[in-house]
């Protein structure tokens, strides 16, 4: 009897109510003011913030804006500030917040679109152009011929850095980026490291210096490791920024 | 008229052959290098000044060694002046280089502080300690170094204690001690991460290890520094009636 009662209690706890407070603002509508809106909803097993937001949107407030695509931590669209920490909504379970209170903000440093939605795409595109994020080779690649072989270790190192999903979390967690708008951030420095170790790319260190050899590039990084500690893909940002710094400082 | 190359850089952002300046690379390296030199200096400095914990005679002997007594009869305090001058130059240079990173406007400060309070990220918070203690030291470090440069003869068991107690230098030394130990600890940790010195095969684990070791060393140095400062104050208190009298080995 007692066991059964306990069981009932624990079931009730499992389906607790959670409060999600969302930063609401539409910068394109001059009649709106920035405000916080709290939604109370029932937590379901395995609920992620993405699922919670979809629930809010579909059952409570169809006007709330947030970004998502893949739901699986691959597209990098649903990054937002969760109780102060920039994270992916789809990879964050509501159950980890013991008091059931969660505050969601849009990522700082990016152009705010509305509510939790920010424009990371245009920034990432500009960054890619700034660090010339493509293979630079003198010879034109013959796509009908078999590719030149690459050492498996080297290929693996390149693939590792290619896992970046451009979610913008490294920038939202970076003190330099928050102060200096033009800083390329860990995402940009990781990108240069990716091409610097790729044998297909013929750029010299001097060429990379022209791209990141200033305070908007690698010398702007103060090694506060916000990027390293918040990257949802666990990219080796600490070591790769140090790697580029050591290269660039020799110029 | 500035040099032609500077003018080209002013107008184009690059030099006359279209290349970026290498100065940022030099500045980044020099900031670390000057910091590292000052760290080594302070690591030894605090240990040496703690010789007072072993008694007045030990501190006196060490002072005389630094004054070159084994080679110069009676010691030459100018050696200390020269050392203080050298350190002062590196100190100013380091401050100049590090200042580049400080938030430089209300907007930058507001954004940085709000984000760091939100983030609650320990390494980001450490940087606040670093810029705060750095700022404090620009003033207190300068006072200390200038005093050592101009009054090198006033270093000794009684001379130092009189300065600390009767000349009321202790509040300055207390704040300076805490600032310099914290700043050095955070700075050395930052250097390790920044240049990947001890990355090894597991950089993440080694980062945690570096941090723990440095935390322990910081605590040891704070305790050592505070105990010595307390000792100098006690000596200064006992010696206030004879203020100005110098220690001599006959006192033994």
For A6, A49, B88, the CA distances from A12, given in Å and listed in that order, are 10, 20, 67
HSE toward the beta carbon, residue A11, CA cutoff 13 A: 6
B14 within a domain of the structure (yes/no): no
Residue stretches of chain A with pLDDT short of 50: 1-2, 8
- Backbone torsions φ then ψ of A53, nearest 5 degrees: -70, -40
Chain A residues with CB under 8 Å of a chain B CB are 81, 84-86, 105, 108, 172-173, 175, 178-180, 209-210, 213-215, 219, 221-226, 229-230, 236, 238-239, 242-243, 245-246, 248-251
Contact present, A69 and A75 (Cβ < 8 Å): yes
Give residue B201's pLDDT: 94
Cβ neighbors of B115 (< 8 A, separation 6 or more) are A108, A172, A175, A178
Q: What is the CA radius of gyration of chain B?
A: 22
> What are the structure tokens assigned to A226, written together?
């916000």
Residue B150 CB: number of other CB atoms within 10 A? Answer: 11
The whole-angstrom distance between A249's CA and the closest CA on chain B is: 5
Q: Which of B25, B117, B119 sits opposite A173 (nearest CB)?
A: B119
Nearest to B199 among A108, A178, A239 (CB): A239
Domain containing B177 equals 23-251
Q: Determine, yes or no, domain membership for B1.
A: no
CB-based contact B29 A85, cutoff 8 Å: no
Report yes or no on B139 lying in a domain.
yes
Domains in chain B: how many in total? Answer: 1
Nearest-by-Cβ selection for B112 from A172, A178, A245: A178
Residues in CB range of A43: below 8 A, 6 or more apart: A14, A15, A16, A17, A18, A52, A94, A95, A100
Let me know if residue B42 belongs to a domain.
Answer: yes
Cα distance between residue B15 and residue B28, in whole Å: 19
> Given this model, what pLDDT does residue A1 score?
43
Pairing of strands A117-119, A111-114: antiparallel
Q: Is B83 inside a domain boundary?
A: yes
Cβ neighbors of A227 (< 8 A, separation 6 or more) are A169, A170, A171, A173, A174, A185, A186, A237, A241
**Residue A69 near residue A77, CB atoms below 8 Å:** yes
Per DSSP, the three-state class of A205 is helix
Compute the radius of gyration of chain A from its Cα atoms.
22
Separation of first and last alpha carbons in chain A: 76
CATH number of residue B70's parent domain:
1.20.1300.10
Query: Tokens standing for B46?
Result: 């605090």
B21 neighbourhood in chain A, CB within 8 Å? 214
- Cα-based angle B90, B41, B33 (whole degrees, multiple of 5): 50
Domains of chain A: 2-118 (3.10.20.30), 121-140+147-249 (1.10.1060.10)
Specify if B2 maps to a domain.
Answer: no
Is residue B13 one of the residues assigned to a domain?
A: no
Provide the residue-wise pLDDT of chain B in tens; the chain has 252 residues: 667 788 999 999 998 889 999 999 999 999 999 999 999 999 999 999 999 999 999 999 999 999 998 889 888 999 999 999 999 999 999 999 999 999 999 999 999 999 999 999 999 999 999 999 999 999 999 999 999 999 999 999 999 999 999 999 999 999 999 999 999 999 999 999 999 999 999 999 999 999 999 999 999 999 999 999 999 999 999 999 999 999 987 644
Tokens coding B180: 């310099």
**pLDDT on residue B171:** 98
Task: Report DSSP state, residue A18.
Answer: E
User: How many CB pairs (< 8 A) connect A and B?
Assistant: 98
Crossing angle of helices A237-249 and B170-195, in 10° steps, is 90
Q: How many CB atoms lie within 10 A of CB A59?
A: 10
Answer yes or no: is B15 within a domain: no
With beta carbons under 8 A apart, name residues in chain A contacting B195.
Answer: 242, 245-246
User: Cβ–Cβ of A238/B103 closer than 8 Å?
Assistant: no
In this structure, are residues A97 and A49 in contact, taking their beta carbons and an 8 Å threshold?
Answer: no
């Amino acid at each position: 009897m007692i066991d059964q009662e306990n069981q009932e209690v624990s079931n009730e706890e499992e389906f607790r109510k959670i409060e999600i407070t969302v930063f609401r603002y539409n910068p394109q509508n001059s009649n709106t003011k920035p405000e916080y809106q709290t939604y109370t909803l029932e937590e379901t097993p395995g609920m992620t913030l993405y699922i919670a937001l979809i629930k809010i949107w579909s059952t409570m407030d169809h006007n709330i804006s947030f970004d998502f695509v893949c739901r699986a931590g691959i597209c990098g669209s649903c990054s937002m500030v969760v109780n102060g920490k920039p994270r992916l909504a789809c990879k964050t379970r509501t159950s980890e917040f013991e008091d059931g209170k969660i505050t969601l903000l849009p990522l700082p440093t990016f152009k705010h679109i509305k509510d939790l939605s920010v424009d990371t795409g245009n920034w990432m595109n500009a960054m890619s152009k700034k660090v010339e994020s493509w293979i630079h080779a003198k010879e034109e690649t013959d796509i009908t011929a078999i590719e030149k072989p690459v050492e498996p270790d080297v290929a693996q190192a390149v693939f590792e850095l290619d896992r970046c999903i451009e979610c913008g979390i490294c920038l939202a967690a970076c003190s330099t980026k928050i102060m200096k708008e033009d800083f390329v951030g860990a995402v940009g420095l990781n990108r240069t490291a990716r091409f610097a170790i790729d044998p297909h790319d013929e750029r010299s260190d001097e060429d990379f210096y022209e791209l990141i050899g200033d305070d908007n590039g690698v010398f702007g990084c103060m090694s506060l490791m916000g990027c390293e500690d918040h990257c949802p893909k666990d990219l080796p940002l600490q070591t790769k920024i140090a790697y580029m710094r050591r290269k660039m400082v020799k110029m | 008229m500035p040099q032609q190359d500077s003018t080209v850089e002013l107008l184009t952002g690059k030099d006359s052959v279209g290349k970026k300046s290498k100065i940022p690379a030099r500045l980044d390296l020099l900031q670390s290098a000057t910091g590292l030199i000052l760290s080594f200096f302070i690591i030894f400095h605090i240990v040496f000044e703690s010789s007072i914990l072993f008694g007045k005679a030990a501190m006196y002997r060490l002072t005389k060694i630094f004054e070159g007594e084994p080679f110069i009869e009676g010691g030459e305090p100018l050696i200390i002046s020269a050392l203080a001058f050298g350190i002062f130059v590196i100190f100013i240079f380091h401050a100049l280089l590090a200042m580049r990173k400080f938030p430089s406007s209300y907007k930058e400060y507001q954004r940085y502080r709000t984000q760091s309070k939100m983030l609650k990220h320990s390494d980001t918070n450490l940087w606040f300690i670093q810029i705060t203690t750095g700022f404090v030291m620009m003033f207190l470090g300068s006072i200390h170094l200038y005093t050592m440069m101009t009054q090198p003869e006033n270093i000794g068991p009684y001379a130092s204690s009189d300065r600390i107690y009767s000349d009321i230098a202790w509040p300055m030394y207390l704040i300076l001690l805490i600032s310099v130990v914290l700043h050095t600890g955070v700075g050395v940790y930052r250097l390790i991460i920044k240049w990947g010195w001890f990355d090894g095969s597991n950089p993440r684990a080694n980062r945690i290890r570096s941090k723990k070791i440095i935390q322990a060393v910081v605590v040891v140095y704070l305790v050592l520094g505070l105990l010595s400062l307390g000792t100098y104050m006690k000596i200064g208190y006992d010696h206030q009636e004879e203020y100005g009298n110098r220690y001599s080995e006959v006192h033994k």
